[in-house]
Structure 1
């Protein structure tokens, strides 16, 4: 078992308090801290605290010992998951992730950096707010028509006809209607319209500010989780959580960002019928359809045993926990190779364990 040091991502939407407070550093942090990555992805691999070696190099030098024969057989000689701490202080981009087949195809065409899908699950540490999945076309048409903006009438007509993707496409091209739409939204005292105004203050003139009228809103309490498969259009709004995903950084954006957008590709991979899946923990395990990962939430109060044979990353988010002979405080993490015997957790605290998905789900 190896303690890890992990890269902090300073994206502009990140919090200056959440990650710093959890890791025991001064608050506020000097700049935004959006994510900490735990894994082997080349855009930010974890390092072994003992000698600074990349965890990706350690896995590559001994894949069978580090990952185990079962993981290698299903996923190849790579850690199939990436775990993150995600601290959202400002809304993320309106985005979607491709399927396994779309990722392979897009990677071959130079559209995606990774040939792997990016299904993901977020588990809230604090109240967590997100937009994910389309509303019914009828409800979206009603919300949009209430603004009474003539330039959006064709979008409303498409929604009334049930054409969600065509309506989204038309909406994202209506920059000329945004100022009037936001003005109208400011006069309606309702959370959906309030969110439109909030987004417009941060991204003035961006038609994606009207996304809250097309998408469903999800509010998670601490311990609740939401799974997003391929093709689910979404936007995280606020909150702090633990996220686990396929080890991929394939993201297609349509707005609410200063990063490049690709509306045509987003429309190609978005599935209007795909929605998020609320996931309840059973015996601490958040089970999803993803073969790449499984997340386990372990409330430690006395000894708890974790089976061997799987490559795990342990992350302590609360209290003081002992993993065999290794002490973990909030913010500390460790990699447990598959060849390691079962791990005994002791002490008192809260630990998340990332591991590959169970056998029975087809690998991507």
Structure 2
């Protein structure tokens, strides 16, 4: 017999603590041995019943252990120390799961192995948290974003966008990790780093509340007055119009990996020349880049109160065609989208994307190409929906 009282108490406490989980293991083993088969809901009720039964047995066991300790060990410490050991063991068992919930370093890569994003992720929710850096395919910094924890009441992401040489381009808050929903104050900078404009967006991203430099803005369809949000009527002649948010890309490129990061934010206004009635552009429309020389960015003709069925082309700043629209018949158009050369050597560069639309729905097969002209994805459309595509993994 162990004569050291403290050692007897310690051994008794450990043994008593080990019996608690054995109670539940025995009850679950008995249930498994019964061979009863139930559905998922039934198994849930069975498990609940076992836990209740185990708790009741544990209470009885605790009372018995107190009586045992009082009679044979002349102390009441072991039953209570056993409970503390049990709680300590349970707490230690939770540590690995807790560690797994902590944000950890995470890196995403482009298909060619180059770094795309670097930051921390809350893996339990598969969401970014804290500062995350995003890079273009050429390795230059594209943006930095500070994500709030998904557990936080704050839903705003602080974002900083950069020019290709690393100069800050814009900064402000957005509700998503893109520029579709700017919110509050945003600062926009020129390529030389000097401040160009400060704009304030409403929380619903449907109106530009103020701009220190410009009076008109567009959502890509209609033109509005900054501040009031009223539809504009009048004549524009190389008049600057800023973008409320990025143009919504009507082509379904988002389904497939991008060859380049083209969704750069709209910083400077384009210069509009056209008549406008109730926000809608009328007659001949010419939109120019707000850069030296003012090359044409887009031109078309608008008919019937804002609806256009004339060829409409978009251009890169160097004058090359970016998007070419060809009317095939009264209801069908073909869109051909091209890459841009570093300098202008020809009307357009390598074909990037092509698709046909009939009455605003994509039809037939759309094709995506890389900058070397190699096919990298295709999709078959029916009534505007993708019914088959390659590659299978898309995002």
**Shorter-chain TM band:** under 0.3
Q: Provide the TM-score with structure 1 as the length reference.
A: 0.23
Greater share of strand residues, 1 or 2? Answer: 2
Select the structure with the greater relative contact order (CA < 8 A; seq sep ≥ 6).
1
User: Whose helix proportion is higher, 1 or 2?
Assistant: 1
